[in-house]
Amino acid sequence: MKICIVGGGLTGLVAAFRLGPGHEVDLYEKRDHLGGCLSSYHINGYWLEEFYHHCFSGDSDLFSLMKELSIDDCLEWLNGTTGYYSNNTIYPLSSPLEILKYPELSLADKMRLALIVMKAKRMDAGDLDQVTARDFILESLGEKIYRSFFEPLLVSKFGENRDRVSAAWLISRVAIRSNRGLSGERLGYLRGGFQTLVNALESSIGKHSVVRLNDPVETLEKDMHGWRVNGRLYDTGVSTLPPHQLGVPGLAAAPRIPYQGAACMAIGLERDISDGIYWLNMKDPAPYGAVVSHTNFVPKDRYGEHIVYLASYFSGKLPPHIDTRMFEDFCSRFDVSGSEVHWKRLAVEPLAGPVYTTGYRDLIPEYASHGLYFAGMFSAPNYPERSMNGAVVAGNEVAALIERTEGR
């Protein structure tokens, strides 16, 4: 069977990896390289993700794939510490003692917070899909806990969309992420960066399939012979883009999945600016929601310099002058002089992930729809959070479905 796969991000790569050996597969990617949101820069002799990435201990499908590709020995487990930036001060918040010392919440607030974290694991998130996270927290824990704890988290994940996010999303996330150790969370990283995974997939796919770089797909047109894509004919296709992104007959009337963009500035630096903390949520207003110090997670000696990401999300158009605003704010806030900055790069992805609004769960599409297949960040395995593991599961599942239904 001739199959086209649209999008050379992780979902498309995994689908091609599975389908390539048994079918004629063409993988279309609009950029000049593969990886999508998992793309990396090659800079100063090392690979660095355009957007900060780590994996979690429960990412079993991702680990199985790494094993199949014989790169599982590159996986390492490192400590990911967190903190809050509030009133121009960095507060570490990884260990129980640090949390106890956090002055922005009273002891009673902290106990109520701990209680809801414990309860989250037993709550039925489905009941909370129509309630916003904001209303839910305001009602159950009050304004203080919302402003001092949850709002900065929501800002770092959703920016200006924070008030649209559902309580179902929040509770599911809290339940997944509350298994922390005494000094932080164990997070996974690949030696050589996640480019190691993209490279391994690319070389394996290249043995069976055609990778078409710089080849954007705008429409998938059906005719009596099959699906026509950029002048070529296929029996079927998999789109890893949000369903409305491609002109697919009949899809215009289907409900749209709300998406947000990400703008992320990576900076090579002379020194650490976040007191050894990996993930710093900004409670003070700033043109970024989090400062992610990569080299407070992966040892700095691998790079020979400190690396920091400034993370922000936006909806609609990229905010004007975002790069200048981010950089100037960062330098003045953390007292960084021009001579301490080795380099900086801004990565922008307009389709960086769904916004998990109220009612989102009803929008999740089936893999098979309108005579085609759709799998990606919007698919069920990526709820409540799109992730590398979710991309691997979606790629695996859509390929298996195609084999079952069409691959005779």
User: 3 or 377, CB closer to ligand FAD?
Assistant: 377
| Of positions 2, 30, 228, 342, contacts ligand FAD by CB under 6 A | 30
| Of positions 25, 217, 238, 282, contacts ligand FAD by CB under 6 A | 217
User: 128 or 220, CB closer to ligand FAD?
Assistant: 220
| Of positions 2, 31, 110, 228, contacts ligand FAD by CB under 6 A | 31
Cα-based distances in Å from 353 to 87, 256, 274, 287: 30, 13, 27, 19
Asked if 388 interacts with ligand FAD (CB under 6 A), we say: yes
Q: Name the segment binding ligand FAD (CB under 6 A); options: 112-120, 158-166, 198-206, 347-355.
A: 347-355
In whole angstroms, the minimum distance from the beta carbon of 341 to ligand FAD comes to 21
Those residues whose C-beta lies under 8 Å from the C-beta of residue 327, and which sit 6 or more positions away, are 265, 267, 310, 344
Site for ligand FAD in 350-379 (CB under 6 A): 351-353, 376-377
Q: How far apart are CA 248 and CA 217, in angstroms?
A: 11
Asked if 171 interacts with ligand FAD (CB under 6 A), we say: no
Q: Name the segment binding ligand FAD (CB under 6 A); options: 32-40, 111-119, 328-336, 366-374.
A: 32-40
In whole angstroms, the minimum distance from the beta carbon of 352 to ligand FAD comes to 4
Asked if 312 interacts with ligand FAD (CB under 6 A), we say: no
User: 120 or 246, CB closer to ligand FAD?
Assistant: 246
User: 94 or 156, CB closer to ligand FAD?
Assistant: 156
| Of positions 251, 264, 290, 326, contacts ligand FAD by CB under 6 A | 264
How many residues in the shown chain lie near ligand FAD by CB under 6 A? 37
User: 125 or 391, CB closer to ligand FAD?
Assistant: 391
User: 146 or 356, CB closer to ligand FAD?
Assistant: 356
User: 83 or 242, CB closer to ligand FAD?
Assistant: 242
Would you say 53 and 388 are in contact if contact means Cβ atoms under 8 Å apart?
A: yes
Asked if 81 interacts with ligand FAD (CB under 6 A), we say: no
Asked if 216 interacts with ligand FAD (CB under 6 A), we say: yes
Asked if 262 interacts with ligand FAD (CB under 6 A), we say: yes
Those residues whose C-beta lies under 8 Å from the C-beta of residue 217, and which sit 6 or more positions away, are 4, 6, 28, 30, 229, 230, 246
In whole angstroms, the minimum distance from the beta carbon of 322 to ligand FAD comes to 14
Asked if 243 interacts with ligand FAD (CB under 6 A), we say: no
In whole angstroms, the minimum distance from the beta carbon of 180 to ligand FAD comes to 16
Asked if 54 interacts with ligand FAD (CB under 6 A), we say: yes
| Of positions 5, 8, 83, 277, contacts ligand FAD by CB under 6 A | 8
Which residues contact ligand FAD by CB under 6 A? 6-12, 28-31, 36-38, 51-55, 216-217, 240-241, 262, 264, 349, 351-353, 376-377, 386-391
